[in-house]
Structure 1
Amino acid sequence: MPHPLDSFFAPASIALIGASRDHEKIPGRLLSMLRKNEYPGKIYPVNPNYAEIDGLICYKSITDIGAPVDLAIILIPARAVLAALEQCAAAGVKNAVIISSGFAEEGGESAAMQDAIAALARRTGMRISGPNAEGFFSQKQRVAATFSPAVDVKPSVVPLVATTKRIGIVAQSGGIGFAYYHRASALGIAVSYVVSAGNESDLGAGEFLDYMVQDASTDVILLFIEGIRDVDKFLAAARRAAELKKPVIVTKVGRSGAGMRAAASHTASMAGWSAAYDAVFAKYGFIVSNDLDEALTIAAVLATNPLPKGDRVAVVTVSGGAGIWGADAVALQGLQVPELSEKVQAEISALMPSYGTARNPIDVTAQGVTSGGLQKSVDVLTASDEIDAILIVLSLSSDVRKPFKEAELTPVLAAQHKPVVFYSYTVPSDFARRELAKSGVVVLSGLTYVGVAMRQLVDYATFELRKPADGAQVPARDISAQLKSPALSEADSKTLLRAAGIALPDEVLVKDKGELDDAVARVGFPLVLKIQSPDIAHKSEVGGVRVNITTKGEAFLAFEALLNNVRQHRPEAAIQGVLVCPMAKQGVEIIIGTMTDATFGPMVMVGLGGITTELFRDVVYRPAPVSAEEAGTMLARLKAAPLLTGFRGAAMADVAAVSQLIADISVLAAQHAEEIAEIELNPVLVHAEGQGVTIVDALVVGRRSSLSPCGRGWLAAKRRDG
């Protein structure tokens, strides 16, 4: 089925607006790149100062061409760009790439010019990439619509191509996008497309991702992003990639942040600047990498191998020390390097000298290369059901010797029974790379990256896209009455949650000592008393909590003590009263929360709760809403997950109940995204299986909240409020 961007990436004709004869300047280099890469379509240089350029007729304007143009590449000063685009639209040009800079990146009037470009795209339907873009390269169609030297063609150099599968590259930095391409080419990884998104006045990373996902010639996608502007298109493309099981390797930069998010809850303060991005990546199975070479190593492993059926790795080497190092590299990533059975060891031992070892790692010794023991050992391991993947560790520095015979290695790898990864601990020679490339091998030379790539391969093989939460099936309840004051106390927050259908313990807000007797009788012993004020987030820090009260006398004394403590520590605080609560029975403490991300909207979080929440930061985020099934997946990803599943003989916790609570809170946050900024339930006690959960403390922050400095103090260590 045709895609709207087919004519963008595979144009039948290209107009170069601002073309030049000077190959040292960008306009001249771009024409040179198109011709060197043997672009098969028609090229129309446009520049009123020339009659011809490099043997091509040069036109005074786009309207003089008089023939259909699929793509216009704009290479003129910024202030002339809008007029040129208007001419392109009038002439029926379908797509444009604006290489010119000097727009939103400069601010002021320049940003207004970019807004005008976006408006033109909406009005005319012409699709526009840039401005401030480095263009794109369609390798298969030989469209080098870029000035990047990475796509320059050197007649004396035969390209190295090891893979039949291709990677597509989408980058919000042109320099990094073409750096990926340059390094991929050096490794022998075939590329389908590399595109620089520029300032994204119209076409953005999400739409380019969508193209790569549906493109049959793209098997693995590399994504380099700073931020997402076309969010809906990005999320739709991400879901489609997950559904098709097409791997996306993403690098997100700008993680350090230049300031602090002013947040009332731990949910937001612990998120950091990129937690929402990581949540989206995790939801859709994206493989996150924060290093260029690591990302390409992962791409190489994905492009040359099937997905493994498990995490058991055999390490085969010609050097004992290198083999141990290889085994360490994968083991440090949590993969198994199991000792082989006596039967398999016997088969491999027969293929090597007596001083070799077949236990795993398998050292066939240097002699194993010349005797054929290396290849035959790989054959044995490929057929064995004891191993899920093979890592071959060897030296490939020779310019004359081949460790494998192409006729023997090629059919083993082509069968794709299991992943076989090749690592050279010496700098691999061009000879070795090219010889092994004939069998479909990409030689890797970063052992840590190899270990990470094999781990990611195993993880990606087990990824399942969870069914989306159907928030539409849950009727939204009216909570406007509970949100009249955006700054809510715990009691206010719990009233709102009850109105939204969330189950909480029966508690009583006592405003006067005369009401205390009835409240105690209603709640029952043992109980907890907590001061209530929208101005006090850390109740325990002002002496505002008393727990495990077992008599009326204790209750009355505690009531007076709480009020006196608050008058002393926070005399300006508006006191609503004292909340009388039942003392919760024991359970695993977790935190459930929501926050609102500026890009992706509501996020839901779950983590280890109580006073250690910020200390351990054992949290998992996902875009809201989530289903109970997806909430269960979030819980399973916590380091503290064993606490919920019978750790050291403890009872199984009610995972089903807490998963449903997470889902319910996420739906609440999504349905009321315009009204609720943050929700935090901490701690939530998860009781034994079948006994449900108890929300001990809660905070809801409205969109218009202006919390006091103390309220903002939730960035400090979390309190335990009984």
Structure 2
Amino acid sequence: MPHPLDSFFAPASIALIGASRDLEKIPGRLLSMLRKNGFPGKLYPINPNYGDIDGLKCFPAIADVGQPIDLAIVSIPARAVLGALAQCADAGVKNAVIISSGFAEEGGDSAAMQDAIAALAKKTGMRISGPNAEGFYSQAQRVAATFSPTVDVKPNDRPFVASKRRIGIVAQSGGIGFAIYHRAKAIGVALSYVVSAGNEADLGAGEFFEYLVQDSSTDVILLFIEGIRDVDRFLAAARRAGEIGKPVIVTKVGRSGAGERAAASHTASMAGWSAAYDAVFEKYGFIISNDLDEAVAIAAVLTTNPLPKGDRVAVLTVSGGAGIWGADTVSMQGLQVPELSAPIQNEIAKLLPSYGATRNPIDVTAQGVHSGGLQRSIDLLDASNEVDAILVVLSLSSDTRMPFKQAELKPVIDAQRKPIVFYSYTLPSDFARRELAASGVIVLSGLTHAAVAMRKLVEHARFKLAPPVDAAAAGLRDLSAHLASATLSEADSKALLRAAGIALPDEVLVREKSALDAAIAHVGFPLVMKVQSPDIPHKSEVGGVRVNIATKGEVFLAFEALLESARRHRPDAAIQGVLVGPMAKKGVEIIIGTMLDSTFGPMIMVGFGGITTELFRDVIYRPAPVSAVEASRMLAELKAAPLLNGFRGAAKADVAALSQLIAQVSVLAARYSAQISEIEINPVLVHPEGQGVTIVDALVVLKN
């Protein structure tokens, strides 16, 4: 089915508004790039100052063309852009790219001009990219709608491509987007599209991402993100990519300078600047990379290899030291480098000189290369079920000699049985890159990047998209009575949670000493007593908690002491009374929290709780709501997850009950995101398997 943006990315005709003969200036370079790259459609330069440019008729205005135009590239002073776009809309132009700068990035009146562009797009239906964009490049359709020098075609250029599959790039920085393409092109990665989003007055990164997800010519997507504006489109595209298994590599910048956020709960203060972005990326199986060359290496490995069935790697080398280094690096990424079985070692030994090594890493030695041992070892390992991937470590600096014959290597690569990654510890020559590209091989020159790429390949193969959860259909009761107060105490918060269907211990709020006897009879010993006030979120800081109380006398003494201590520390606080509840059985301490992110809305967090929560910050975030299945996956990602799984002989914890509670809290946060700012349940005590969980303390923070 055709997509509305097909006419943007593959236009049959392009008008260049502000076209110029001066190749030193951006308007002149735009026309030059289109022509050099062999744009197959019609080109219409627009500029009243010229009769023709580079042999093409130049028109005074877009209305004078008199032909259908799919795309207008606008490169004129900012003040003239809105008028030019209105003329484009009147002429029936379908799409526009605004190269011009001087809009929202400057603020003031310039920002108002950008708002007017957005309004024009909405009113007319013309799709607009930019302003302040670097344009886009479609390699397959030969559309170089950009001034980036990375798409320039030089007389002696001899591009080569190793990958059958193509990468598509969406960047919120034009310079970085084309830099990713430039580096990928240099090692033989094929491209579908690279597009810079600019200021996103109309078309945003999310919509471009959505296009690449559905595009059959794009096999791997690279995103360079500063901040998502069209959030719903972005999330819909992310889910679709996860459903069809299309890999998405993402770099998110702007991770520093957050500053501390004052918050009533630990949940928000532990959220890093990019916690919500990372949570979204993890939910949808994005491959996070914070290094340009690493991202390109991951893309190279993904476009030239099948997914592995497991994490066992054979390291094959021509240098003993380099092979050991390769094995160490792969192991440090958490992949296995298993010793090979005697039968396969015996087979490999027949191919090597006596001083070679067969265990793994396998050192075929320089002599083994000349005798064909390297190629035949690859053949053996490719057919073996003892390893899932092969890392070939060798020297490819020669300008004349190759360690492989194309006729022997290409069939193995084409068969796509398992990933075979090539790393050269010397700088690979242009000759070597081109020769191996003919067999479908990309040579990597960074060992750590190669190992990271292999790990990411394994993780991508293992990823399973969690089923969606509809918070609106979850059947929560009406909580409006509990949401009426300005600030909630622990007792108020727990009443709200109970009303939402979440199980809590049976507790009694005692306002007068005369009600203590009834509370003791209801709760039983041993018990816990906590002072209650919406103005005291952290009760222990005012001496407001007493635990393990075992006698009636202690209860009466504690009641007076708790109230007196709270009044002394916080004389202005509104005291509701004392909450009396049963002393919980022991269990693993967990924190469950929610927060509202300004971009993605409600988030759910889980981590190991108690007083050390902020010290270790062992927490996992996901967009809310989550299912119990997804909650259990979150728990498995925690560094201290073994504590839930019977660490050092302890009983296995009730992970199923905990996962169900996390799911319930996430649904509550998502359903009432307009009223609830944060929820914190800390600690939750997780008891042995089958014995459930106990919520010890809880705080719900309402939006002001």
Q: TM-score range by the shorter chain?
A: over 0.9
What SS does structure 2 have at the residue aligned with 1:391?
strand
Give the Cα–Cα distance (whole angstroms) in 2 for the partners of residues 265 and 57 of structure 1: 66
Give CA deviations for 1:85-119 in whole Å, capped at 9, x if unaligned: 11000100000000000111111111111111111
Conservation of the 8 A alpha-carbon contact between 1:170 and 1:209: yes
Q: Distance in 2 between matches of 1:52 and 1:692?
A: 80
DSSP 3-state at the match of 1:277: helix
Report the counterpart of residue 111 of structure 2 in structure 1: 111
Q: How far apart, CA to CA, are the structure 2 residues paired with 1:73 and 1:618? A: 49
Q: Could you tell me which residue of structure 1 aligns to residue 402 of structure 2?
A: 402
3-state SS of paired residue (1:701): strand
- Residues in 2 aligned to 1:364 and 1:590: alpha-carbon distance in whole angstroms: 51
Aligned partner of 1:312 in structure 2 is 312
What is residue 349 of structure 2 aligned with on the other side?
349
1:572 deviates by 2.4
Residues in 1 aligned to 2:591 and 2:183: alpha-carbon distance in whole angstroms: 44
Deviations 1:632-668 (A, max 9, x none): 1111111122222222222221111111111111111
SS in 2 for 1:366: helix
Q: By how many angstroms is 1:317 displaced?
A: 0.4
Deviation of 1:320 (Å): 0.7
**1:167-212, Cα deviation, whole Å (9 max, x unpaired):** 0000000000000010011111011100000000010011101111
Question: 1:63 maps to what in 2?
Answer: 63
Tell me, in whole angstroms, the C-alpha distance in 2 between the residues paired with 1:292 and 1:264.
38
Number of the residue aligned with 1:41 = 41
Report the equivalent of 1:392. 392
* Separation in structure 2 between the aligned mates of residue 294 and residue 575 of structure 1, nearest angstrom: 57
Decide which moves more: 495-504 or 170-179: 495-504
Give the Cα–Cα distance (whole angstroms) in 1 for the partners of residues 470 and 231 of structure 2.
Answer: 20
The 5 Å alignment of 1:625-644 reads: 625-644=625-644
Q: Give the match for residue 123 of structure 1.
A: 123
User: Residue type matched to 2:31 in 1?
Assistant: L
Partner of 2:369: 369
Q: Distance in 2 between matches of 1:562 and 1:20?
A: 80
Q: Aligned partner of 1:65: which letter? A: V
Structure 1 contact 491–509 (Cα < 8 Å) conserved: yes
Q: Deviations over 1:456-492 (max 9, x none)?
A: 0000000001111132332232222212223211111
Q: Is contact 1:682–1:698 with CA below 8 Å preserved after alignment?
A: yes
The CA distance in 1 between the partners of 2:612 and 2:469, in whole Å, is: 30
Residues 1:30 and 2:19 aligned together: no
Name the structure 2 match of 1:204: 204
Task: Check whether the contact 2:258–2:272 (CA below 8 A) recurs between aligned residues.
Answer: no
* Paired residue secondary structure (2:428): coil
Tell me, in whole angstroms, the C-alpha distance in 2 between the residues paired with 1:440 and 1:612.
52
Which residue identity lines up with residue 352 of structure 2 in the other structure?
M
Q: Could you say which residue in structure 2 is the equivalent of 1:477?
A: 477
Equivalent AA in structure 2 for residue 367 of structure 1: Q
**Is it true that 1:215 corresponds to 2:215 in the alignment?**
yes
Equivalenced residues, count: 704
Aligned to 2:256: 256
Deviation at 1:615, TM superposition (A): 1.2
Match of residue 652 from structure 2: 652
Deviations 1:527-564 (A, max 9, x none): 01111112222211221111101101111121222122
Corresponding letter in the other structure for 2:598: A
Instruction: Name the aligned partner's letter for residue 250 of structure 2.
Output: V
1:615 to 1:258, Cα distance in 2 relative to 1, 3 A = closer
Cα pair 2:489 2:535 within 8 Å, conserved: yes
The corresponding residue for 2:292 is 292
Give 1:603's aligned residue. Answer: 603
* Gap runs ≥5 in structure 1: 705-722
Which residue is 1:678 aligned to? 678
Q: What is aligned with 1:502?
A: 502
User: How far apart in 1 are the matches of 2:112 and 2:578?
Assistant: 55
- Counting only pairs closer than 5 Å after superposition, residues 554-565 of structure 1 correspond to structure 2 as 554-565=554-565
The DSSP-based 3-state class of the residue aligned with 2:296 is helix
State yes or no: 1:665 paired with 2:665. yes
Match of 1:488 in 2: 488
Structure 2 CA distance for aligned equivalents of residues 83 and 357 of structure 1: 72
Bigger drift between 98-107 and 512-521 goes to 512-521
Alignment of 1:369-448 (within 5 A): 369-448=369-448
Partner residue, 1:245? 245
Partner Cα distance (1:474, 1:230) in 2 = 26
Distance 1:576 1:289 in 2: 50
**Contact 2:305/2:416, CA 8 A, preserved across alignment:** yes
**Deviation >6 Å, runs of 4+:** none
How many Å separate the matches in 1 of 2:502 and 2:244? 37
Q: Residues 388-428 of structure 1: CA distance to partner in whole angstroms, max 9, x if unpaired?
A: 00000011111111011111000001100000000011111
Aligned counterparts of 1:363 and 1:436: Cα–Cα separation in 2: 21
Tell me the CA shift for residue 598 of structure 1: 0.6
Counterpart-to-counterpart distance in 1, 2:307 and 2:353: 33
Are 1:229 and 2:232 matched, yes or no?
no
For 1:343 and 1:258, how far apart are their aligned partners in 2?
57
What is residue 6 of structure 2 aligned with on the other side?
Answer: 6
1:190-246 deviation per Cα after TM superposition (whole angstroms, max 9, x unaligned): 111000000000100111011111111111000000010001100111111111100
TM (norm. structure 1) is 0.97
Does the 8 Å contact 2:241/2:248 carry over to 1? yes
Distance 1:240 1:373 in 2: 45
Matching of residues 502-581 of structure 1 within 5 Å: 502-581=502-581
AA aligned opposite 2:488: L
Whether the 8 Å CA contact 2:258–2:273 is kept in 1: the answer is: no
**Shift of residue 296, structure 1, vs aligned partner:** 0.4
1:646 aligned partner, one-letter code? G
2:365 partner SS:
coil
1:28-76 Cα offsets, whole Å, 9 max, x none, are 0011000000111100000011111111100000000000000000001
8 A contact 1:470–1:627 mirrored in 2: no
For residues 472 and 533 of structure 1, what CA distance do their matches in structure 2 show? 32
Unaligned 5+ segments in structure 2 are none
CA-to-partner distance for each residue in 1:679-707, whole Å, 9 max, x for gaps? Answer: 01010011111111110000000011xxx
- Describe the SS at the equivalent of 2:168: strand
2:457 equivalent to 1:453: no
Preserved contact between residue 135 and residue 196 of structure 2 (Cα < 8 Å): yes
Structure 1 distance, partners of 2:322, 2:389, is 18
Which letter maps to 1:652?
A: K
Deviation at 1:573, TM superposition (A): 2.1
Between 1:272-281 and 1:474-483, the stretch displaced more is 474-483
Please give the alpha-carbon distance, in whole angstroms, between the structure 2 residues aligned to 1:616 and 1:205.
35
Distance 1:195 1:139 in 2: 11
Letter in 1 for 2:109: E
In structure 2, distance between residues paired with 1:673 and 1:612? 28
1:314-329 maps to which residues of 2 (within 5 A)? 314-329=314-329
Give me the whole-angstrom Cα distance separating, in 2, the residues matched to 1:209 and 1:486.
Answer: 41
* CA distance, structure 1, for counterparts of residue 613 and residue 531 of structure 2: 22
CA 1:461–1:281 in 2, change beyond 3 Å: closer, same or farther?
same
Taking the aligned partners of 1:612 and 1:261, their CA distance within structure 2 comes to 19
Correspondence for 1:87 = 87
Q: In structure 2, what is the equivalent of residue 337 of structure 1?
A: 337
User: Which secondary structure state, in structure 1, belongs to the residue aligned with residue 472 of structure 2?
Assistant: helix
Inter-partner Cα distance in structure 1 for 2:216 and 2:97: 24
State the TM-score, normalizing by the size of structure 2.
Answer: 0.99
Counterparts of 2:486 and 2:677, CA distance in 1: 9
Whole-angstrom CA distance in 2 between matches of 1:365 and 1:612: 53
Matches of residues 163-182 of structure 1 in structure 2 within 5 Å? 163-182=163-182
Q: Which amino acid aligns with 1:280?
A: V
Deviations 1:116-159 (A, max 9, x none): 11111111110000000000000010000000000000121200
Among all aligned residue pairs of Structure 1 and Structure 2, give the percentage whose two residues are the same amino acid. 79
Deviates more, 1:242-251 or 1:622-631: 622-631
Q: Secondary structure at the match of 2:237?
A: helix
- Distance (Å, rounded) in 2 between the aligned partners of 1:57 and 1:646: 78
**Aligned with 1:629: secondary structure?**
helix
For residues 258 and 49 of structure 1, the distance between their equivalents in structure 2, rounded to whole angstroms, comes to 50
